[in-house]
């Protein structure tokens, strides 16, 4: 995108940071990914609204939080990335059991804040290295809990900068799955049939905040749970190497890791990408991996598991961008 193509850019009172030609490897936990044409980090919600209104309507825009579930191909992204981690950072109590959490807040910060305010049920967020926006988009979860089970409402900004409030009824929500309902109505508006596939680059709207509900609890107990769950992760996950958590969704009634291990794929390597020997559903960047190495390894694992077990694995990670 050419800067001059941003409508009235010089006239608007934008307060965020616009950068061009940004390597996405800096913004993904796999530490791979080609160059994005433009990256905008808004100053706050109002600033993001102004920015979206300033963009040409045909400009592709993609939200990125902490990039912990994202594979950006080596050829990069034509369009604009809005970087929300470190940007939308308001976190406060609304009342004794409800929190207002902006999209840029990290899971660990949310869990600690909830414990500080004696709220129970937020400990699971501590081990998810994502932002609130990414956790809403993925319905991130673990240890029997997930994000949307705590959502009272969310605020979204549409691609044209309109701020809307939505509730869970406006979405189809499932295991690592959140899409707008096709037939739902939002504030009197019939929703379109836009479904965001895991491979879609262009996005129609972005989560900017959530109102989350928890039960009252004991801060000390919550902190103990956080500590125990983090220890389990350190013991079972290859956290010393760049990764994106679980690569595949678990098939119903089974575990992707079990199937991958059963097929003898632990340690399988393509270039710098390796199926972790510690956790078979993780692919680690052993150093110098390209996005193509990782994507090819994902394809090989899928093909091998399908051939040997008949089970079709589906990626949980989002894969976007152009091949090199």
Ligand X SMILES: Cc1cc2nc3c(=O)[nH]c(=O)nc-3n(C[C@H](O)[C@H](O)[C@H](O)COP(=O)(O)OP(=O)(O)OC[C@H]3O[C@@H](n4cnc5c(N)ncnc54)[C@H](O)[C@@H]3O)c2cc1C
Shorter beta-carbon distance to ligand X: residue 6 or 63: 63
Task: Give min distance, CB of 230 to ligand X, in A.
Answer: 11
Task: Return the residue of 34, 79, 129, 315 that touches ligand X, per CB under 6 A.
Answer: 129
Check residue 130 for interaction with ligand X (CB under 6 A).
yes
Give the C-alpha separation, 86 to 91, whole Å.
12
Q: Is 14 in the site for ligand X (CB under 6 A)?
A: no
Q: Which positions from 65 through 124 interact with ligand X, judged by CB under 6 A?
A: 65-70, 84, 103
How many Cβ atoms from other residues are within 10 Å of residue 61's Cβ? 21
Residue from 39, 122, 138, 259 touching ligand X (CB under 6 A): that is 138
The token pair that represents 113 in the structure block: 């804040």
In the complex with ligand X, the residue whose CB is nearer, 230 or 306, is 230
Closest distance of CB 174 from ligand X, Å: 12
For position 244 contacting ligand X by CB under 6 A, the verdict is yes
Catalytic residue check, 4 = no
Output 63 or 212, the one with its CB closest to ligand X.
63
Of 176, 233, 249, 258, which one is the catalytic site residue? Answer: 176
Q: Quick check: 242 and 30 in contact, CB under 8 A?
A: yes
Based on the shown chain and the rule CB under 6 A, indicate whether residue 173 belongs to the binding site for ligand X. Answer: no
Q: C-alpha dihedral over 133, 136, 137, 142, to 10 degrees?
A: 120
Residue 322, number of CB atoms within 10 A of its CB: 13
- Is 318 considered catalytic here? no
Of residues 313, 54, 52, 46, the one with CA closest to residue 159:
52
Burial class (CB in 10 A: 0-12, 13-18, 19+), 220: exposed
**Options 80, 131, 209, 276; binder of ligand X; rule CB under 6 A:** 131
Q: Is residue 159 a contact partner of residue 203, using CB atoms and an 8 Å limit?
A: yes
Which residues does residue 151 pair with via DSSP β-bridges, in sequence order? 212
Cα distance between residue 81 and residue 71, in whole Å: 14
Residues 281/316, Cβ–Cβ less than 8 Å: no
Q: Which is nearer to ligand X, 97 or 198 (CB)?
A: 198
**Cβ proximity to ligand X, 82 vs 259, nearer residue:** 82
User: What is the footprint of ligand X within residues 275-304 (CB under 6 A)?
Assistant: none
Site string for ligand X, 221-240 (x = CB under 6 A): ----------------x-x-
Evaluate whether 37 touches 21 at the Cβ level (below 8 Å): yes
Nearest alpha carbon to residue 209 among 64, 91, 109, 39: 91
Catalytic site residue from 246, 276, 290, 295: 246
- Does residue 246 have an active-site annotation? yes
Q: Does 52 bind ligand X (CB under 6 A)?
A: no
Taking CB under 6 A as the criterion, the residue among 128, 212, 256, 275 binding ligand X is 128
133 touching ligand X, by CB under 6 A: yes
Instruction: Supply the minimum distance, in Å, between the C-beta of residue 98 and ligand X.
Output: 20
C-alpha 51/C-alpha 269 separation (Å) is 42
Choice between 250 and 290, CB closer to ligand X: 250
In the block, tokens 């039960």 appear at: 215
Catalytic residues: 176, 246, 316
Using CB under 6 A as the criterion, which residues of the chain lie in contact with ligand X when the complex forms?
29, 62-70, 84, 103, 127-131, 133-135, 137-138, 140-142, 206-207, 237, 239, 243-245, 318
């Amino acid at each position: 995108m050419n800067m001059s193509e941003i409508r009235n850019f010089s006239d608007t009172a934008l307060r965020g940071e616009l950068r061009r030609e940004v390597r996405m490897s800096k913004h993904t936990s796999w530490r791979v990914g080609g160059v994005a044409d433009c990256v905008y980090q808004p100053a706050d919600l109002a600033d993001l609204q102004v920015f979206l209104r300033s963009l040409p309507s045909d400009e592709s825009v993609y939200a990125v939080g902490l990039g912990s579930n994202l594979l950006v191909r080596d050829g990069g992204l034509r369009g604009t990335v809005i970087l929300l981690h470190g940007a939308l950072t308001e976190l406060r109590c609304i009342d004794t059991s409800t929190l207002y959490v902006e999209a840029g807040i990290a899971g660990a910060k949310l869990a600690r804040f909830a414990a500080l305010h004696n709220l129970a049920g937020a400990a699971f967020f501590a081990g998810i290295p994502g932002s609130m926006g990414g956790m809403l988009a993925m319905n991130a979860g673990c240890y029997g809990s997930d994000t949307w089970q705590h959502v009272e409402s969310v605020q979204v900004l549409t691609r044209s900068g309109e701020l809307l409030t939505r509730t869970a009824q406006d979405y189809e929500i499932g295991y690592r799955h959140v899409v707008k309902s096709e037939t739902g109505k939002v504030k009197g508006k019939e929703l379109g049939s836009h479904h965001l596939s895991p491979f879609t680059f262009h996005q129609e709207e972005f989560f900017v905040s959530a109102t989350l509900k928890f039960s009252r609890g004991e801060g000390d107990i919550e902190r103990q749970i956080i500590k125990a769950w983090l220890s389990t992760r350190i013991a079972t996950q290859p956290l010393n190497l760049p990764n994106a958590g679980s690569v595949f969704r678990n098939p119903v009634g089974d575990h992707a890791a079990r199937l991958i291990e059963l097929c003898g794929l632990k340690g399988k390597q393509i270039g710098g990408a390796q199926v972790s020997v510690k956790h078979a559903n993780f692919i680690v960047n052993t150093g110098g991996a390209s996005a193509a190495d990782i994507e090819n390894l994902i394809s090989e694992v899928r093909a091998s598991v399908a051939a040997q077990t008949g089970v079709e694995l589906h990626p949980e990670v989002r894969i976007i961008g152009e091949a090199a």
